[in-house]
Structure 1
Amino acid sequence: MFRTQTADDGDELLARLGALTAQARELAKAQRSRVELAVALQRGMLPQDLPSPPGVRLAAGYMPAHHGLNVGGDWYDAFTMPDGRIGLSIGDVQGHNIEAAAFMGQVRVGLRALAHVTNHPGELLARTNDLLVSLGADLFATCTFLRLDPATGVLECARAGHIPHIWATADGRSGADEGECGPPLGVLEGAEYPVVCHRLTTGGVVVLLTDGVVEGPSLSLDEGLRRVMRLAEIYAAADLGIDALVNGVMRLADTVGHEDDAAVLIVGHDGGAR
């Protein structure tokens, strides 16, 4: 037999719906708070200002992932080292959560602190790696560290499992760093990080980036690097400026499917210090 629906049944249903709605609102509020906390943490970990030595121009961009907590472990940094040269770093911590962002902060602070102990890029990465291994962290990070002499444009580069950086000159040449790469930071105690030297010529640019810029469901890493290389060629040859190049690279990052956060740090030399 069928049971006749009563007013009491309707009231009970409405009460249940009201309770579920209230619960959903509380969950949404908690999620918003969690996202806001994660985004604030991420922003607080990134530098608010970049150095501006004579003849050198720096610009950077960051874009959060389009899923999850919209926070990850990508970072960039630039600071004046004790010897007057400029330290440039970019990296990517495993994971896309608050823990990854916090670990990213540890790596970035560790690099800055150890730059007062050694100014050699390879040794700096080696010391940072051993520090992270000793802490027993469950996460690891890829990283590129460059030391730039603003007066000469000489760049000394060491990489820890990170993707190559891109360079382009004012006369239309470009390429990717193909130097030997050490393992990610925090994985292997006693790891070594070879150093490769470049020279940033007048009007040239070097583009440091994370894989979220150049790799996604719609784009392979190799093709993404080639696209950034072409962009760098065009902008350097036309002298359009590194701020415009950052915008162009970040537009590319927004077309790759963007399941990862993305960071870019660009350095250019205008010859002002020569």
Structure 2
Amino acid sequence: MSMENKSKGGFASSAQSVGEENLDQLEQGIRQIARTHGRMQDLLDAVLLVSRELDVDLVLHRIVDTARHLADARRAALGVVGEDGGFTDLITSGSGADLTARLGSALPYGTGLHGDLERDPRPLRLEDLAHHSHSVESPEGRHPPMSTLLVVPIRVRGTVYGNLYLADKTEGWAFTEDDEDVVTALADAAAAAIENARLYEQMRRATEEFQRRLLADMPHLDGLDLHAHYQPSTEAPRIGGDWYGLIRLPDRVPCLMLGDVTGHGVPAATVMSQISNMLRVIAFDQQEPPSRILHRLDTVLHALHGGPMATVIIARLEPEGTGRRMQWASAGHLPPLVITPGREGRYLHADIGLPLGVDADLPRPDHEELLPVGSTLLLHTDGLLEQRGESLDAGMGKAAGIAAAHAGQPLPDLVEALVKARSGAFEDDVALLAARITPAPEDIS
């Protein structure tokens, strides 16, 4: 072979080799970009997931789970730091989580790594935890053994709220700088989510307290067991227009009333207060029948306030033998739910008329139902039934079944069962007013 051929062959071989190296590097680079892109997408998804919650406890659990996923760690924990530097709460995730969670506030602090983190809160990566100079060995069985560790503090308003602990990557490698960056970014987002949840909780409590102050206390009446409940919405910290009330008319007959003003916020609460107070005066003056009370209320509201939209139900409970005769009328509101002895729970389906604010001149019918001793009457707003993906009829059937199953229990337990059936999720606020017909004192031998 000539030198020229050798030269050409050698050049071709070298070029091919360099080309293969470049292709390998390019392939590795593409894979790295794909991994980085995938991880950034995972981080964005995690931030959105954490930020979506408004309950502090759910936020903390979501943070721990997502941090473990992002760092590909076998186990994770979030130690919430108290004023004394110790843990006031410990949220865990992954293998050995139950064992770690049993430590609670007994986790060591002030010495070793915990002391270091308390004095100098910053991200920390350890490749060999057992041989670290400041590692503190926990008593046998206190928590699962750990070899590598990544710790990232979470700061809320400049103060360390807690520390995220990630132990042992699933593939056995040490945590990387990339792991630290990703978890630190999550911790920053987590701080905002925690603060939002805390603010939401403060607003929710203030909203609930404001709403409750507008609602009437239940009196003690012979022949009636009464219980009222208000459940704020869990969707957002908003004031609602749901309310309940009870007055004794001049003829000593108790009159139950409950309603729901269209809309939310302070305007709805203001209208709710106006309607409930106005209704008390009109009911005391008109007394009966309930339809006439609603007609008068609608007329006055149209004249004074332009006819705000609202639904209202009124029920008079007149003595009838040993029980009560209920005379009721509705302005577009859900009918009463009744559970009589020996019968299933049922809604008294009837013409419920038009809501307030539609046409004050259109009549609304009155209805009657005999309630023997032991019967339970429940008036509630539609927030108890509203659930995404479920019809109103399905919600009514479910509520009637729950009420019937708990008819023999005290009213607070029955109402609690109805509320708990929603698993803590309420798209709208709820007002409930329950009454049970009991023997009058003269009927008890």
Note the C-alpha offset of 1:180.
1.3
SS at match of 2:335: coil
CA distance in 1, matches of 2:414, 2:206: 30
Which structure 2 residues correspond to residues 26-65 of structure 1 after superposition, within 5 A?
Answer: 38-47=207-216, 49-65=217-233
Q: Residues 140 and 186 of structure 1 are in contact (CA less than 8 Å); yes or no, is this contact kept in structure 2? A: yes
Match of residue 194 from structure 1: 365
SS at match of 2:285: coil
Q: Residues 76 and 263 of structure 1 are in contact (CA less than 8 Å); yes or no, is this contact kept in structure 2? A: yes
Which structure 2 residues correspond to residues 144-159 of structure 1 after superposition, within 5 A?
Answer: 144-150=313-319, 152-159=323-330
Q: Residues 182 and 194 of structure 1 are in contact (CA less than 8 Å); yes or no, is this contact kept in structure 2? A: yes
2:398 maps to 1:230? no
Q: Residues 344 and 401 of structure 2 are in contact (CA less than 8 Å); yes or no, is this contact kept in structure 1? A: no
Q: Residues 88 and 147 of structure 1 are in contact (CA less than 8 Å); yes or no, is this contact kept in structure 2? A: yes
The amino acid that maps onto 1:129 is: D
CA distance in 2, matches of 1:211, 1:112: 22
Structure 1 vs Structure 2: percent identity of aligned residues? 30
Match of residue 10 from structure 1: none
Q: 1:211 to 1:149 in 2, by over 3 A?
A: same
User: What is the root-mean-square deviation in Å for CA atoms of aligned residues?
Assistant: 2.5
Note the C-alpha offset of 1:36.
6.3
Moved over 4 A (4+): 28-38
Note the C-alpha offset of 1:99.
0.6
2:384 maps to 1:213? yes
2:302 maps to 1:141? no
CA distance in 2, matches of 1:142, 1:269: 25
The amino acid that maps onto 1:41 is: F
Note the C-alpha offset of 1:38.
4.2
The amino acid that maps onto 1:147 is: R
Q: 1:36 to 1:202 in 2, by over 3 A?
A: closer
Q: 1:54 to 1:128 in 2, by over 3 A?
A: same
2:244 maps to 1:73? no
Q: Structure 2 length normalisation: TM-score?
A: 0.51
CA distance in 1, matches of 2:366, 2:241: 24
2:340 maps to 1:169? yes
CA distance in 1, matches of 2:260, 2:437: 26
Match of residue 7 from structure 1: none
2:428 maps to 1:252? no
Match of 1:97 among 238, 241, 265: 265
- Residues 206-234 of structure 1 deviation map (CA, whole Å, 9 limit, x = unaligned): 11111100112143211111111112222
Match of residue 262 from structure 1: 430
CA distance in 1, matches of 2:260, 2:211: 13
Alignment gaps of 5+ in structure 1: 1-17, 19-23
2:346 maps to 1:178? no
CA distance in 1, matches of 2:414, 2:255: 21
CA distance in 1, matches of 2:398, 2:201: 35
Q: Residues 168 and 232 of structure 1 are in contact (CA less than 8 Å); yes or no, is this contact kept in structure 2? A: yes
Note the C-alpha offset of 1:253.
4.0
Higher relative contact order (CA closer than 8 Å, sequence separation 6+): 1
Q: Alignment length, in residue pairs?
A: 246
